[in-house]
Structure formats: structure tokens, C-alpha cells
Amino acid sequence: MGAPIHLDSRIDAVTVFRAGAVVTRVADVPKEGERFEIGPLPLGIDDGSVRVSVTGTDAPTATELAVTLVVPDFDPSRPPARPEDVETAEQRVSKLRDQLQQLTREAQRIETLGVVTRPEPKPGREPPPSPAEARLALLALREKRLTAIDDRRDRIQRELRDAERKLADLWDRERTASNARRAEPHELRKAAVIALRGGARHEPARIALSYRIDAARWAPSYTLRLDRELREGRLEVRAAVCQRTGEDWDGVRLMLSTAEPTGWAELPELPSIRIGRRQPPATRRGWRPPPEDTETLFADFDRAAPRAGAPTTSESSVMETLDDAPAAAPIARKSKVQTLPPPAPPAVPMPTPAAAPSPAPRPEAAAPAPQSMTLAGGYAPVARSKGGPLAMFGAIADAMAPQGGGGPGALGDDGEEAEARLPLEASDDMLDYARLRLEAPHAGGRGRLVLKSRRELYLRQIEERQIEIDLGGALALVERERSRCLSRALPPGLTPLAPSGFDYAYRASGRVNAPADGTFHNLALSEHEVTARARFVVVPRESQSAFRFVELDSPLDAPLLDGPIDVYVGEDFLLTAPLHEVGPGGVVRLGLGVEQRLKVARNARFSERSAGLMGGRLELEHAVEVALSNQLRRPATVEVRERLPTTAEGDDDVSVVEGEVTPAWEAWEPEDDPSLEGGRRWEVEVPPGEERTLRATYVVKIASKHELVGGNRREP
């Protein structure tokens, strides 16, 4: 089989989860060839998450997918560096570094130049003259020299960065010039090998390859741009994305999700109800019965090179075996020793997780199950939490073992046999076919599939490709990059995503760029036109300031998550406020600070008079007047909040009677403190350039012999 054809691919779409991302690459299918390679891919991808699909009219079918390790080959467009070029580049870097150090020392010397302090005068004499012009000239000279040094230092630093990049490129070309070189850990990559069959190759088709990688995360943020009248606006949904995957996301379709990238979810099984003869339970999808006789796979190998202890029979044993054959079958008698494979065990139905296998009658002289049907360590079935990829083989072999014998499948009388007949549960490893390997014919336990670790598979590929590389260092580098990205502190104001009962996805309206530098980049996802409703809240008893609030309906079908929101009014930046989660179609409420063009004044009058028979009661009358002056260019909806005094429950000596209120107000309870009593609220609209006056009176009635704590006058 020849080498696969390399396909040029590009990253088309990325889905970033709470921690991790799924990247989708696309490549065009050529008209010729059956095996293709897409890469290089990052070393940190999850091999088990790689998926491939082929789209197009009469597109071919992907029949094979394998993930391999690769090291980028020598690039003919980058010839080996000449020794004299490397020496010249090294001298250039050294010279620029020396110049930079010299400028730093010169700047330090100039900074030490200072103006000499004016000497203290002698007692009884006038102070000595101070040369102000000379002092100013010295300061101006020092500032001019430092500015020139800073400009020259900036220029040399730029030249030094260019020279260091050129030197690093020459070193890399020198190191990669030989095919016998030792690969560096950061050069190890992966590639996907895909086999295609069928289809009409003259029609355009496209391969889509997706894989998951952990080194990515995101956090939401928002921007609200309002007009000067606070009536119309534009809400921008943004996100800070950080990724250290090893490949830049240039011009990709981005989708951000609040879900976890992996998780176990089981679909509900809806069993059908049938009337009639009972049927055996159906086999779960993804399960297959094991082969009935794996030893026959190695029959030719044993004939060519019999292993120690291989089953052999003499002519007499052959005759006994043939005598048991059906009478119609022709019998060929041989006179020499013949090597036969062991007899095939009877077929055993595959156990399913829904029901345990029914134990068949076992003959007393039955032989133990063949070794190829067992796991290392015996025949006992293994539950989900302890099972390997072929734990099912042990259960089948145990069902075939004799009841009374003492073989590997024998069980005691303490209930172990009942435990062995428990329903077999499928473990996740049983379906991880990509990591299952068949042992070599000469190895112990041949015929059994063994679950290999990722590291073992990588080492095997490195040996086959004859790559000289530090695999441990390469894997450790990937883990460091992943940890650095996931543990990086969020920018100020951003809130990490918190688990919730529902998960949502946010799709970017256009293609975006996200470099793999491990820092957060603020990306725009979508823009939505909104209608704002401005209102003003005044609590004149506490403050004479009018606070601006704006309300708008969420334009998204998904919730607005916790995050900072930058508010602009016109072209001016106003503030950054925390936005708490708002459900789909909910109302966003934001405070915009104090409105200076809305004036508020509050005045209160107090009078005390006797009432009741013989003047036994006092009536304390309070009159409150609130004046609102609107100096805006638009009408202002103002909410004025007041509070009446309240009496304790069961206190009959004190009563509060609400008097005349103009205009009428309503009872009010704050959302954050529903226990507040006596709250009242006016909601009035003040035309531009006009004033409104609000009046309210209330009377506190007490016994004449009593006095309110702090004085009868309750209003300042």
C-alpha cells in the first residue's frame, strides 16, 4: 500500500465550549487516489473525537480513518543556511545588543544630572541669587537628550527583534536541513489518514474533518450604543476567546457554547408492548458476538512454525475424531501424524445489558472453554466500572465452563455463581475500537483484543516511522499549554461561565480571527437593533439627584449571560456596568448615573393641633412638596419614591392617616426588599423645559401625653 496523498486543508468552523473546542477542517477531494492524509494537526487533539464526512453530489464514502504521528518534512523552499550567513546574523544580533546596553547606561548617567539646590543663606544676610535661566536650560537639555535616547533605543529594539527572528530562521533551516536530524518536541504533529471508496470523482466533493482539543475557553461581554435621546440603540454581543491549540483560527465560522465538550447522555428506551409469544431481548447496537474459535485464525501459522505445547494428535486420535463425523461425509485415513486446530466451541448467544444469558445444560465431561475466549486472570465477568474492552469474553467462557469442575470457571457455593450470571454491562472502553489491538501470534494470550494506551500507540508509531524524539517532552509541552490556557485569569470585569440547567450556543454572524497566542481576544459575535425606554428615579428624602435608568427588551432567543457591558451615549463612552443574566426575551435594566439636567427640590411643612374629646389626642400633620424641573430636550418620565411612617403591629396608641395626594400615587415595594412597608411612588412625565409639583399630606395621631421618639416633627 502506497503512501497517502496529502491534501491541503483549512479550518472552516470552530465551536468553543466552556473548556475545549471542536475544530472542523475542510479539503477538496481529488479525482484520483483512494487514501489521503490531512495534516499536520495539533498534537493535543483527542484521537477518539476525530470524525470525517464527505459531502457532494454522488460523493465517495469514507471507509477508513486513522490518526497517525508525523513530523513535518524538509521544506525545499527553505534551503539550508550557509555558515557565513549564520555568523553574520549572530554578529548583527550581538552588535545591536551592545548598542542597546550602551544607550541604557547613557540614559542612566543623564538622569543623574540634577539642578543644584539653592544654598542656605548665612544668618542675617540675604539669600544668594538663583540662576533660574541656567536651571531651566539644564532641565531642557536633559529632557532633550533623554527623548533622543528613547527614540534611538526604540529603533534599535525593532532592529534587534528583526535580527533575532532572522537568526532563529537560519538556525531552524540549519537544523532541518538533514533528514537524519533529531526532531524537537514542539515539531511532533498528528495527521488523519482517510480512505475513500466509490462515488463519482468527476463531481466536486469535500471532506470535512472534525476533532476536539482542550486548550480553548471563552467568556461573554457586551456593548450598548445609545443615541443622545436614549430612545434607539444597538446591542453588540461579544466574547473574549482564548486558545492555545497550536493553530491560528483565521476567517472561521465561530460558535460559542455554554455546554461541556464531553458528557454521558443516554437516550430513553421505549420498549414496545406485544401480545404473543415472548421474544428474546434485542441485541444492543454496537455489540457483536465474539468469534467462535479464534485459534483457527492461527492455524496456518502453527503449521509453519508449531509453538511449544501446540495440540497434536496421533493416527488413533484422528480416527476417533473421524468416527464421530456424519456417515455421509467421506473419510480419508492418513498414516502420519497430523496437526489439527482445536474443535470449535458451540455458539453462545451474545449477552445483552438488558438480560443475563440463560445457562444451558452442561455435560459433566465437558472440556473447559478455550483459552482464546478468556481475559487475563480467569473467566469471571467484569462489571462496567471494572471491565476492559473484552470483558464480554469472560462471561461467555464462564457460561461454557463445567459446573462441578475445578477449572478457571468454577465457582464456590457462597453465591459467586449467582453473581456471575448478573447482566453484563458495556463499558466505554468496549466500544473504543481505535485502541484495540490483536496480540501477535507468538505472544501470550493470542487471539484476544487488548486495550492499548495512547502512549503505547504513539511509541509504536514512532518506532515504525523511525522518529528520534522525546515523546514525554512533547506530551508534557501539550499539557503545559493546555493548563496555561485554562488557568489564565480572565480580563477585569469578565465572569467565568457557570454550570446551569440549560445550555445555549451563540453563533458569530461573520467570520472571525483568533490567534493561538494564549491571550484573550475580544471578538464581535452579532449586532441587534433595540428600542430603549429611559426613565429617571428620584428619592428626594435621601438625595436631590435624579438617577438615569434605561430598559430594553433582549433581542436574543438565548439568555444574555453574566458579563460586563460597555455603554456609549452618542460617541461618548459613559460607563462599564455588570450585566446579570437575562432570560430569553427578558428585560435588561441598566443604571446610567446621575442626570444633571433634571432638577429636584423637596420641601416639607409641619403643624400640630389638638383633637378629640377634651383635647386628649394630638394630630401631627405633615405636608410634602416635590418640585421637578426638566431641562432636557425631550420629555422625561420620572419616578418619585416616598415613604410613609408605619406603626408596629398591635400598637393602638399611634395611627397614621394618609391625606390629600396630588397627583395620586401608588403603593410600592422594591424587588430586592419586599419587606419594606409604607413605600409610595409617583410616576409622572415632565415635558421639556417645564416643571411639575407633587404634593402629599399625612397625619400622625397620638395621645396628647405622648411624644414621638426624636420629636413630633417627622419631616426635615
Residue with cell 459613559: 574
Read off the pLDDT of each residue in 348-375 and give the average, rounded to a whole number. Answer: 37
Closest CA to 589 of 601, 572, 605, 577: 577
Q: Is residue 240 a contact partner of residue 491, using CB atoms and an 8 Å limit?
A: yes
- Proportion of the chain above pLDDT 90, given as a percent: 25
Q: Is residue 656 a contact partner of residue 622, using CB atoms and an 8 Å limit?
A: no
Q: What is the pLDDT of residue 417?
A: 47
Q: What is the pLDDT of residue 367?
A: 36
pLDDT per residue over 285-317, tens digit each?
A: 655 666 667 777 777 888 887 655 555 444 433
CA gap 503, 256 in Å, rounded: 11
- For 244, counting Cβ atoms within 10 Å of its Cβ (0-12 exposed, 13-18 middle, 19+ buried), the class is buried
Min mean pLDDT across 158-172, 174-188, 216-230, 506-520 is at 174-188
Q: Is residue 680 a contact partner of residue 665, using CB atoms and an 8 Å limit?
A: yes
Min mean pLDDT across 104-113, 378-387, 563-572 is at 378-387
Closest CA to 502 of 444, 553, 557: 557
Alpha-helical runs (H) found in 234-376: 299-304, 315-323
Q: What is the pLDDT of residue 253?
A: 95
| Residues in the chain, overall count | 716
Where do the structural domains in the chain lie, given as residue ranges? 83-116+137-175, 370-467, 531-595, 598-703
Reduce the DSSP state of residue 420 to 3 states and report it: helix
pLDDT per residue over 377-398, tens digit each?
A: 333 333 333 333 333 333 333 4
Most confident segment among 227-241, 322-336, 384-398, 451-465? 227-241
Read off the pLDDT of each residue in 334-360 and give the average, rounded to a whole number. Answer: 38
- Residue 282: its H or E element: none
User: Is a pLDDT exceeding 70 seen at residue 626?
Assistant: yes
Exposure of 352 in the CB half-sphere (CA atoms within 13 A):
9
Residue with cell 392617616: 657
pLDDT per residue over 408-446, tens digit each?
A: 333 344 444 444 444 445 566 666 777 788 777 777 777
Q: What is the pLDDT of residue 283?
A: 64
DSSP 472-512: HHHHHHHHHHHHHHHTSPPPTT-------SS--EEEEEEEE
CA gap 241, 256 in Å, rounded: 9
Q: Is residue 566 a contact partner of residue 579, using CB atoms and an 8 Å limit?
A: no
